[in-house]
Amino acid sequence: MNIRLNHLFLLLLLTLFTATPATARKKKQPERPTRIACVGNSVTYGYGLRNRDRDAYPVRLQEMLDASAGSGKYEVRNFGHSGSTLLYKGHRPYVGLPEFRQAMDFQADWVVIHLGLNDTDPRNWPDWKEEFIPNYRALIDSFLVANPKARVLVCLMTPIFDRHPRFQSGTRDWHAQIQEAIRQVASGAQVQLVDLYSPLHSRPDLFPDALHPNPEGAQILATTVFGALTGSHGGLQLPVVFGNGMVCQREKPLVLNGKADARQQIVVSLKQNGHVVKETGTFSRADGSWKAEMGSWKAGGPYTMTVTAKPLRAKDELQNYPPQYPVALKSLTGHATETITIDSLFFGDVWLASGQSNMELRVDQCNTIEADLADARRVRQRLHLFNMPARARTDAIEWPDSVLTFTNRLEHMDIQGWSTATDQAVLRFSAVGFNFGRVLCDSLSDVPIGIICNAVGGSTTESWVSRTTLEREFPDIISNWRNADFGQAWARGRMTKNIARALDKQSPVYNPLQRHPYEPCYLFEAAIQPLAHFPLKGVIWYQGESNANNIELHERLFGLLQQSFRQEFAGGPAAGATSELPFYAVQLSSLPRPSWPAFRDSQRRLFASLPQTWMAVTTDLGEANDVHYRTKRPVGERLALQALNHTYGHNLVSEGPVPAAVSCRFAEPPAQSTVTIRFKNADGLTATKGFELAGPDGIFHPATIVVEGDVIRLSSAEVSKPEAVRYGWSGFTDADLRNAQGLPASTFRCSIEE
């Protein structure tokens, strides 16, 4: 029997079971509560929950509805069955199970369907995927036969995480394909789509077996379904980066992505000097999301922005509700008009300052406090700082329960909001970020500058990469991240010390999946995603100390990090990757660690190979006994020079000497062969030490240095036939090659051309 006949047969059978005599239909029925059928698999059933009668999401949903509308008005039933498939020819079709018949007999008013997870099984999807959409449509029609007025909601599946045994063998890819099929089902059947994936994809700690949520995860499911059913999403909200004194990126479309209760009329108004200069109206969707486009603006301000949400009530207003938006009931709680006002909004250039502790190091921890504060007073009203420091340090201490809890909830960052460059704000801000911003203020006198800082000490490159990216491109680095040897041993040890109580089975916060800022994906989820596609001018980046032990790994990860950032600030993965967002990265400084010279050279080559990526050299600033050297003022200045040159188009020298060509004039002993290096950015070239030559044996010897204009000539009595040259090749180096601008050259190693 083909799919179409299957469908017709099922509908006929249901019609026979649910039909009633005409006289019975005319009989007045007593009022009954609104019936809600939760249809699904083991996630709906509550598999893995110690007390599913208390913690399964349908039970929590019942409690939420009772609390909001009073008991007796809603009746929620759990019709989940573990292992069930949507596919009729799957290994356990839902339509062949007792729960399906029970759900039909229930004649629900609202039906919430969450199926598809088990269809990722290799017994199902590879053979029968073409039947998924027709089977799903038949299931929806079945519930409409049971109750023609039923409101059906279909759910995007909850996540399957990398720890699942079939994740890389097919489940990851089939899960994504099924999600897309579910979207097609919702669109084709014109039913409401509920996203159960996004609220949980960043919470692997809530999935002990990588598939089934724990009680906290079940509560998130219940909250999401509650919002979808009732339209109540917590009222009017803007992303956390919006606030008084903010800077929005000039000359890029200002797009507000907010939340509100469902079916609200949203009005965004921009005023200057009391006059409305732009006003836009939109509506909130069933999931509470709304988007308002305010156009592009030149540098200037201050403006006042007001965002108002009011419920749609009148029929003439409802007629204007966009038909392509999923329909939702009026919110049970959102009946009042809400307004958010943002004062002193400016348009200018916004930069993100991110990375680890050397970007995090504050002005009050550095040795140029007086000079920095004096500069801050000069640029005070034009430089705006948005600080997002970590709420707990990753020093070698055992974290208390409260830190473990808020870290799991992705609340590790202290979002302090916007401030002008007051003394107090500057002292507590990144020294590199502040000095970068104040140089831009001096050079761009009519452009307000905003600096957002969310650096975290000790953080790894992989912690700043999105989960979607790593699941696709590098899933092995997520798996068993605490015990794998991808990260440095000191970082794993620090992490283990921090989360010791969570790993203690006797602890009230025991959780073997405890989160930590060094964990792959964590800081992208906790520190980047809250910025929610906010347009940027560019990124300044200082990180690598926690990845310097593995050059090849860092080279692979940094490109993925850039991809993640560029997608997020361009509008998310759906917008596609873009190379337009500039990155200005700091090369590691001098420190007596044996892996650092090769890592610095790797950074030099890597950043030169990536689009829209430039580097600031700091080898002349490091301290032999402290990875956190205190002279950060020149770092911000050097980053700003690079940005002024490459992003703003100023005609200036922004970096130190760079080797452009290497050649050798060979000579027979006792004469010495001469290596010639020609440099770019070489006006006023000076050098007295730091160069070495090596012959076929690969052993390097100090070289004699002769500077001639933009050329340096090298020779060594110990090397008769040079094959390689290197510069600054020491963890802590006193190499002194620089140009007339005082900008130092990078550590480098080159082969010598014949």
Average pLDDT of 374-398? Answer: 96
pLDDT greater than 60 at residue 612: yes
pLDDT greater than 70 at residue 323: no
Q: Is 81 left (phi over 0), alpha (psi -120 to 50) or beta?
A: beta
CATH number of 247-336: 2.60.40
Query: Domain 658-751: which CATH class?
Result: mainly beta
| Domain boundaries, given as residue ranges, for the chain | 3-230, 247-336, 347-646, 658-751
Average pLDDT of 62-90? Answer: 96
Residue 29's pLDDT is: 58
Q: pLDDT class for 576, splitting at 50, 70, 90? A: very low
Q: Are 386 and 451 in contact (CB under 8 A)?
A: yes
Residue 31's pLDDT is: 80
Cis amide leading into 302 (omega within 30): yes
Give dist(CA 435, CA 449) in Å, integer: 12
Residue 336's pLDDT is: 82
pLDDT greater than 60 at residue 579: no
Residue 202's pLDDT is: 98
Give dist(CA 689, CA 686) in Å, integer: 10
**23, two tokens:** 């006289």
Q: pLDDT class for 7, splitting at 50, 70, 90? A: low
Give dist(CA 568, CA 546) in Å, integer: 24
Please state the φ and ψ torsions of residue 175, each to the nearest 5 degrees. Answer: -60, -45
Q: What share of the chain is helix, strand, coil (3-state, %, to 5)?
A: 35, 20, 40
Tell me which of 25 and 380 has the higher pLDDT.
380
Average pLDDT, the chain: 92
Residue 322's pLDDT is: 54
C-alpha Rg value of the chain to the nearest Å: 31
Q: Which of 257, 267, 264 is nearest to 329 (CA)?
A: 264
Residue 678's pLDDT is: 97
Q: Are 210 and 161 in contact (CB under 8 A)?
A: yes
Q: Are 705 and 714 in contact (CB under 8 A)?
A: yes
Cis amide leading into 670 (omega within 30): yes
Give dist(CA 709, CA 663) in Å, integer: 16
347-646 to CATH, choices 3.40.30.10, 1.10.3720.10, 3.40.50.1110, 3.40.50.300: 3.40.50.1110
Q: Which of 588, 545, 552 is nearest to 746 (CA)?
A: 588
- Report DSSP letters for 6-24, one per residue: HHHHHHHHHHHHH---HHH
Alpha helices (H) along 543-674? 551-570, 596-609, 633-646
Strand, helix or coil for residue 308: strand
One-letter identity of residue 729: W
Q: Are 408 and 673 in contact (CB under 8 A)?
A: no
Q: Which of 250, 324, 245, 246 is nearest to 283 (CA)?
A: 324
Pairing between strand 674-680 and 724-727?
Answer: unpaired
The Cβ of residue 318 has, within 10 Å, a number of other Cβ atoms equal to 11
pLDDT greater than 90 at residue 421: yes
The 192-195 sheet, strands edge to edge:
74-80, 34-40, 110-114, 151-156, 192-195
Q: pLDDT class for 153, splitting at 50, 70, 90? A: very high
Q: Are 119 and 86 in contact (CB under 8 A)?
A: yes
Pairing between strand 110-114 and 34-40?
Answer: parallel
**270, two tokens:** 């921009």
Length of the chain, in residues = 754
Q: Are 683 and 696 in contact (CB under 8 A)?
A: no
Give dist(CA 490, CA 17) in Å, integer: 67
Strand, helix or coil for residue 551: helix
Q: Are 541 and 584 in contact (CB under 8 A)?
A: yes
Q: Which of 85, 189, 75 is nearest to 143 (CA)?
A: 189
Give dist(CA 340, CA 647) in Å, integer: 34
**541, two tokens:** 């980046």
Give dist(CA 178, CA 522) in Å, integer: 26
- Range in 163-167, 314-318, 356-360, 603-607 the model is least confident about: 314-318
Give dist(CA 599, CA 549) in Å, integer: 8
- Range in 78-87, 308-317, 635-644 the model is least confident about: 308-317
Average pLDDT of 197-220? Answer: 98
Give dist(CA 45, CA 52) in Å, integer: 8
- Between the alpha carbon of residue 98 and those of residues 94, 110, 118, 178, the distances in Å are 8, 19, 18, 25
Give dist(CA 236, CA 333) in Å, integer: 12
Q: Are 453 and 636 in contact (CB under 8 A)?
A: no
Give dist(CA 361, CA 455) in Å, integer: 9
Q: Which of 642, 664, 654 is nearest to 715 (CA)?
A: 664
Map tokens 């759990």 to a residue: 78
Q: Are 582 and 645 in contact (CB under 8 A)?
A: no
Query: Domain 3-230: which CATH class?
Result: alpha beta
- Between the alpha carbon of residue 67 and those of residues 54, 63, 262, 530, 637, the distances in Å are 16, 6, 19, 30, 57
**277, two tokens:** 């200069």
**348, two tokens:** 């200018």
The Cβ of residue 147 has, within 10 Å, a number of other Cβ atoms equal to 19
Average pLDDT of 423-433? Answer: 98
Partners of residue 317 on adjacent β-strands: none
**396, two tokens:** 């070698």
pLDDT greater than 70 at residue 653: yes
Give dist(CA 182, CA 154) in Å, integer: 7
Partners of residue 303 on adjacent β-strands: 345
Task: Give the H/E segment covering residue 247.
Answer: strand 247-249
Residues 6+ apart with CB under 8 A from 372: 363, 366, 426, 431, 434, 435, 438, 633
**110, two tokens:** 């609202």
**545, two tokens:** 């100390």
Q: Are 151 and 112 in contact (CB under 8 A)?
A: no
Strand, helix or coil for residue 154: strand
Average pLDDT of 284-305? Answer: 95
- Range in 220-234, 543-557, 577-591 the model is least confident about: 577-591
Please state the φ and ψ torsions of residue 50, each to the nearest 5 degrees. Answer: -65, -35
Residues 6+ apart with CB under 8 A from 734: 689, 690
Average pLDDT of 658-664? Answer: 95
Q: Is 222 left (phi over 0), alpha (psi -120 to 50) or beta?
A: alpha
- Intrachain domains 347-646 and 658-751 with the same fold: no
Residues 723-739: pLDDT tens digits? Answer: 999 999 999 999 999 99
Residues 6+ apart with CB under 8 A from 432: 353, 358, 359, 361, 540, 542, 586, 632, 635, 636, 639
Residues 452-502: pLDDT tens digits? Answer: 999 999 999 999 999 999 999 999 999 888 888 888 889 999 999 999 999
